[in-house]
């Protein structure tokens, strides 16, 4: 180190300068002088082995400096100082773990470190590119620190000890701090006559401080990430409550700009079929929506590569498409665009944020946007699927509602419509009675779709079509393992119809056990699955329908009396079509119009003869028979005007006459043959429904069987066996 020793005692220059090192660099060569010791007119001093120079040469000699590299530090630290330094490093780490910021860390540790090293001042400076002071302590001044020397410290990645310029007593030590998150940070120590032994110690501490700054930076990044993830969690909760796509996209864009501190954001939904992307919201564009080709621009590149892109200077990137800026008058400086993937990793489009408010988008911003995009994509997909389901539901509801119209102007139908209108607003159980084909299910649908439960399920169960062993499982569900084939839990119709209406058609055929459970449902509003013990509350309106006489079934102990009275709160009895002749033609025209559309042919007209033919028919199959007839006419009639012959052909493709008895028969035998054929024709007309056939023939069903037995008809044995099996 240099020390200014002042004026010598005798003979010499005014002041002398002692140099501890032999290598003295002269700023420029003087005439007739060389750097060899024997060439100087001044002798070396015995005390220091340095050079004795006149004062006029001091400003022409640069300040000497001692440099060391990191690989020299271990050999230069005295053993006595190693333990002290390790203890100081431990305190540095402990402080870094709890420090809230870099400034807080230096505020606590710079004074302690300066005291341990025996210096009067300490400071940390950064070059970003202009030198700034991050922190300082003690007698330390930024003005006195030579910035070129600090640049050499960073460039050489070495430590240096030297004398501050324009002084002879103030020493300077500068060492680089290796910080992963930042570059260009230097630790400087100042003081009077600092020992050279401090340089390796300072270099060692500089590395430790760099590690501590990395810890603080990592904690800060983690803290920011945690805060952003918390924000994303809150955003996800908000997004889950939005049920429409447009408000959802606007909310996602707003939250993205707030979270990433940028100016704008847009979601681009990919229309694969038309090879377009739809930007929404598209601020500054008419309609707030913009359609672009999926093959151009940053968005097109992201969609086809499924990789994020960060663009720091948009207008200097050849992939950037300026059409949107030109259309809106907006200027994009920088942007970040990522693929928008749903929970199944299906590409929905792209998510773009534009113009970071300060600086450019970082890798951390990219991670944050990717984190946000996952719940956003799921919310978008769920909302779009929900809207599709709602549209389908509304369309189906409209179709079913149209199909559930009560057609007819007879007094009976007008009274029926009025009653249905009043009952639809209630939750009362309704028992619907009527012959097969009179429209009991249509009445039940009208009760449902005209009431407050219209947007909830309508479930119809035909109790006669399900075997007794499976009926309870179908209605109430079953638990896994409840019976042999119960491989998994099954939800019954009551659970599926939650909030809606359940129609139990042909309820007279329900088993005794099923009747008991149904009574419990009606009274307690709970069900229990087959094989289970847990009660499940339900909210279902129950409607029942049958073509049987339940009162007779109650008297014969085939139907529970308490259930009968529970269902019979309100009874609607539908008249057969033969008793309301005024409704035949309106119904025929209504059905014919609908089926003509399905058949893709012009509206068919009924001739006068066809109208008369329809009105004289007895319609044993009621409205169902008329509907089926009109469906066949719409598809098979050869002309646009339907004649009676068309109806006759369709009504009976076979020869529409009875087989005439042979003239060889006597009167008694001919009478028997006639009666047999007449009964067979009646049974065939009502599609083998023996109760309806008996009613059509003006007989009780038991009398019909007796008559068939008397006539020796072979069909009677099988039918009686079938009936006995059903009743057992």
CATH (domain of 692) = 1.10.10
Considering the domain boundaries, does residue 620 fall inside one?
yes
pLDDT band at 586 (very low <50, low <70, confident <90, very high): very high
Average pLDDT of the residues in 244-249 = 85
Domain boundary among 62, 96, 115: 62
**Is the omega angle on the peptide bond into residue 86 within 30 degrees of 0, that is, cis?**
no
Instruction: Sheet containing 262-271: give its strands across.
Output: 290-293, 276-280, 262-271, 347-356, 335-341, 309-311
Question: Over 70: is that where the pLDDT of 618 sits?
Answer: yes
Residue found by looking up tokens 């307690």 in the block? 524
- Which SS3 state, helix, strand or coil, does residue 381 take? helix
Domain boundary among 187, 220, 253: 220
- Which SS3 state, helix, strand or coil, does residue 348 take? strand
- Residue (of 87, 94, 125, 126) closest to 108 by Cα position: 94
- 205 and 300 both lie in a single domain: no
Query: Do the bridges between strand 605-606 and strand 641-642 make them parallel or antiparallel, or are there none, so unpaired?
Result: parallel
Q: If residue 162 lies in a helix (H) or strand (E), which one and from where to where?
A: strand 159-163
Considering the domain boundaries, does residue 433 fall inside one?
yes
Question: Over 80: is that where the pLDDT of 114 sits?
Answer: yes
Please report the pLDDT score of residue 167 as a whole number. Answer: 62
Average pLDDT of the residues in 161-179 = 83
Contact criterion met (CB below 8 Å) for 531 and 479: yes
Give 352's Cβ-side CA count (13 Å radius). 29
- 267 and 306 both lie in a single domain: yes
pLDDT in tens, 329-348: 889 999 999 999 887 888 99
Contact criterion met (CB below 8 Å) for 309 and 336: yes
Question: Over 90: is that where the pLDDT of 705 sits?
Answer: no
What is the tally of structural domains in the chain? 6
Considering the domain boundaries, does residue 174 fall inside one?
yes
Query: Do the bridges between strand 121-126 and strand 65-68 make them parallel or antiparallel, or are there none, so unpaired?
Result: unpaired
Average pLDDT of the residues in 153-170 = 84
Report d(CA 475, CA 521) in Å as an integer: 11
Average pLDDT of the residues in 616-639 = 88
Question: Over 50: is that where the pLDDT of 193 sits?
Answer: yes
- Distance, CA of 83 to chain centre: 58
- 437 and 520 both lie in a single domain: yes
Considering the domain boundaries, does residue 703 fall inside one?
yes
Considering the domain boundaries, does residue 689 fall inside one?
yes
Query: Which token pair is 458?
Result: 């309508």
Question: Over 50: is that where the pLDDT of 446 sits?
Answer: yes
- 361 and 425 both lie in a single domain: no
Report d(CA 494, CA 696) in Å as an integer: 37
Measured between its terminal Cα atoms, the distance across the chain in Å is 120
- 642 and 587 both lie in a single domain: yes
Phi-psi category of residue 306: left, alpha or beta, with phi > 0 → left and psi -120 to 50 → alpha: left
- 288 and 432 both lie in a single domain: no
The contacts found for 362-369 with CB under 8 angstroms, 24 or more apart, are 363/310, 364/221, 364/224, 364/225, 365/260, 365/310, 365/336, 366/308, 366/310, 366/336, 366/338, 367/225, 368/225, 368/228, 368/232, 368/259, 368/260, 369/256, 369/260, 369/308, 369/336, 369/338
Query: Which token pair is 404?
Result: 């559930």
Average pLDDT of the residues in 614-623 = 85
Question: Over 80: is that where the pLDDT of 278 sits?
Answer: yes
CATH (domain of 425) = 3.40.50.300
- 151 and 124 both lie in a single domain: yes
- 367 and 323 both lie in a single domain: yes
Please report the pLDDT score of residue 18 as a whole number. Answer: 37
CATH (domain of 586) = 1.10.8.60
Query: Which one has a higher pLDDT value, 405 or 708?
Result: 708
Please report the pLDDT score of residue 86 as a whole number. Answer: 92
Average pLDDT of the residues in 208-222 = 89
Query: Which token pair is 489?
Result: 């839990």
Helix, strand, coil content of the chain in percent (nearest 5):
50, 15, 35
Residue found by looking up tokens 């870094």 in the block? 96
- 144 and 198 both lie in a single domain: yes
Domain boundary among 621, 651, 681: 651
Least confident piece of the model among 38-52, 441-455, 685-699: 38-52
- 582 and 565 both lie in a single domain: no
CATH (domain of 185) = 3.30.450.40
Please give the C-alpha separations between residue 58 and each of 4, 45, 171, 486, in angstroms, as whole numbers: 10, 17, 17, 104
Residue 135 backbone phi and psi in degrees, to 5: -165, 155
pLDDT in tens, 7-66: 444 443 333 333 333 333 333 333 333 333 333 344 444 333 344 444 444 443 455 789
Report d(CA 702, CA 711) in Å as an integer: 14
Report d(CA 152, CA 159) in Å as an integer: 9
| Cβ neighbourhood burial of 242 (10 Å; 0-12, 13-18, 19+) | middle
- Residue (of 615, 580, 564) closest to 439 by Cα position: 580
Considering the domain boundaries, does residue 453 fall inside one?
yes
- 54 and 90 both lie in a single domain: no
| Cβ neighbourhood burial of 558 (10 Å; 0-12, 13-18, 19+) | middle
Residue 44 backbone phi and psi in degrees, to 5: -70, 145
Q: Report if pTM > 0.75.
A: no
Considering the domain boundaries, does residue 658 fall inside one?
no
Range of the domain at 184: 77-220
pLDDT in tens, 287-327: 556 788 888 899 999 999 999 999 999 999 988 988 778 87
Considering the domain boundaries, does residue 255 fall inside one?
yes
- Which SS3 state, helix, strand or coil, does residue 265 take? strand
Q: What angle do CA 218, 221, 226 make, to 5 degrees?
A: 120
The partner residues of 135 in beta bridges, in order of sequence, read 124
- 540 and 608 both lie in a single domain: no
Question: Over 50: is that where the pLDDT of 357 sits?
Answer: yes
Task: Give residues with Cβ within 8 angstroms of 307, minimum separation 6.
Answer: 339
Please report the pLDDT score of residue 132 as a whole number. Answer: 92
**Is the omega angle on the peptide bond into residue 281 within 30 degrees of 0, that is, cis?**
yes
């Amino acid at each position: 180190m240099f020390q200014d020793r002042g004026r010598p005692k005798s003979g010499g220059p005014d002041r002398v300068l002692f140099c501890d090192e032999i290598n003295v660099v002269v700023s420029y060569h003087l005439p007739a002088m060389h750097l060899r010791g024997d060439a100087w007119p001044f002798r070396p001093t015995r005390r220091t082995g340095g050079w004795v120079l006149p004062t006029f040469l001091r400003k022409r000699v640069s300040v000497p400096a001692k440099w060391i590299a990191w690989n020299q530090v271990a050999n230069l630290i005295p053993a006595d100082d190693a333990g002290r330094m390790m203890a100081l490093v431990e305190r540095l780490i402990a402080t870094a773990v709890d420090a809230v910021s870099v400034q807080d860390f230096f505020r606590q540790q710079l004074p302690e470190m300066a005291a341990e090293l025996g210096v009067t001042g300490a400071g940390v400076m950064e070059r970003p590119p202009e030198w700034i002071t991050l922190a300082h302590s003690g007698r330390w001044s930024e003005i006195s620190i030579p910035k070129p020397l600090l640049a050499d410290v960073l460039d050489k990645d070495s430590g240096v000890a030297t004398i501050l310029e324009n002084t002879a007593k103030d020493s300077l030590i500068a060492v680089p701090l290796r910080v992963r998150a930042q570059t260009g940070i230097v630790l400087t120590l100042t003081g009077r006559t600092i020992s050279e032994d401090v340089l390796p110690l300072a270099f060692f501490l500089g590395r430790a401080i760099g590690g501590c700054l990395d810890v603080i930076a990592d904690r800060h990044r983690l803290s920011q990430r945690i805060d952003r993830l918390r924000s994303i969690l809150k955003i996800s909760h908000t997004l889950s409550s939005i049920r429409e796509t447009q408000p959802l996209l606007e909310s996602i864009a707003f939250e993205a700009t707030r979270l990433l501190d940028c100016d704008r954001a847009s979601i681009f939904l990919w229309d694969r079929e038309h090879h377009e992307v739809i930007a929404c919201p598209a601020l500054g564009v008419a309609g707030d929506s913009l359609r672009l080709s999926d093959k151009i621009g940053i968005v097109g590149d992201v969609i086809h590569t499924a990789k994020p892109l960060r663009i720091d200077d948009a207008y200097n990137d050849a992939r950037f498409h300026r059409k949107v800026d030109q259309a809106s008058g907006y200027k994009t400086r920088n942007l970040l665009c990522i693929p928008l993937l749903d929970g199944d990793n299906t590409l929905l489009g792209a998510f773009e944020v534009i113009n970071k408010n300060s600086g450019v988008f970082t890798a951390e911003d990219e991670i944050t946007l990717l984190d946000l995009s996952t719940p956003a994509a799921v919310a978008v997909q769920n909302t779009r699927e929900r809207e599709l389901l709602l549209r389908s539901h509304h369309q189906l509801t409209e179709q079913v509602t149209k199909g559930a119209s009560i057609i007819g102007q007879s007094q009976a139908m007008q009274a029926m419509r009025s009653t249905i209108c009043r009952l639809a607003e209630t939750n009362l159980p309704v028992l619907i009675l009527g012959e097969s084909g009179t429209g009991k299910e249509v009445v039940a649908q009208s009760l449902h779709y005209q009431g407050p439960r219209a947007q909830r399920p309508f479930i119809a169960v035909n109790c006669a079509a399900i075997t007794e062993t499976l009926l309870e499982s179908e209605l109430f569900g079953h638990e896994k393992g409840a019976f042999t084939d119960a491989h998994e839990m099954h939800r019954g119709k009551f659970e599926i119809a939650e909030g809606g209406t359940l129609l139990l058609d042909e309820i007279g055929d329900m088993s005794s056990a099923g009747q008991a459970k149904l009574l419990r449902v009606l009274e307690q509003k709970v069900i229990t699955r087959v094989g289970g013990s847990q009660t499940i509350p339900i909210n279902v309106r129950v409607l029942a329908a049958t073509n049987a006489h339940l009162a007779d079934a109650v008297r014969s102990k085939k139907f529970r009396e308490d259930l009968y009275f529970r269902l019979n709160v309100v009874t609607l009895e539908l008249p057969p079509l033969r008793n309301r002749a005024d409704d035949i033609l309106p119904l025929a025209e209504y059905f014919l119009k609908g089926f003509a559309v399905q058949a893709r042919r012009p509206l068919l007209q009924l001739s006068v003869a066809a109208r008369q033919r329809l009105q004289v028919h007895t319609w044993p199959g009621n409205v169902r028979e008329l509907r089926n007839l009109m469906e066949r006419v719409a598809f098979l009639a050869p002309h646009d005007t339907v004649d009676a012959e068309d109806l006759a052909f369709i009504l009976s493709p076979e020869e529409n006459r009875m087989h005439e008895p042979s003239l060889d028969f006597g009167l008694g035998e001919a009478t028997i043959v006639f009666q047999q054929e007449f009964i067979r024709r009646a049974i065939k007309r009502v599609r083998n429904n023996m109760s309806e056939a008996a009613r059509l023939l003006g007989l009780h069903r038991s009398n019909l069987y007796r008559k068939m037995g008397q006539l020796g008809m072979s069909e009677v044995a099988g039918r009686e066996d079938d009936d006995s099996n059903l009743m057992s």
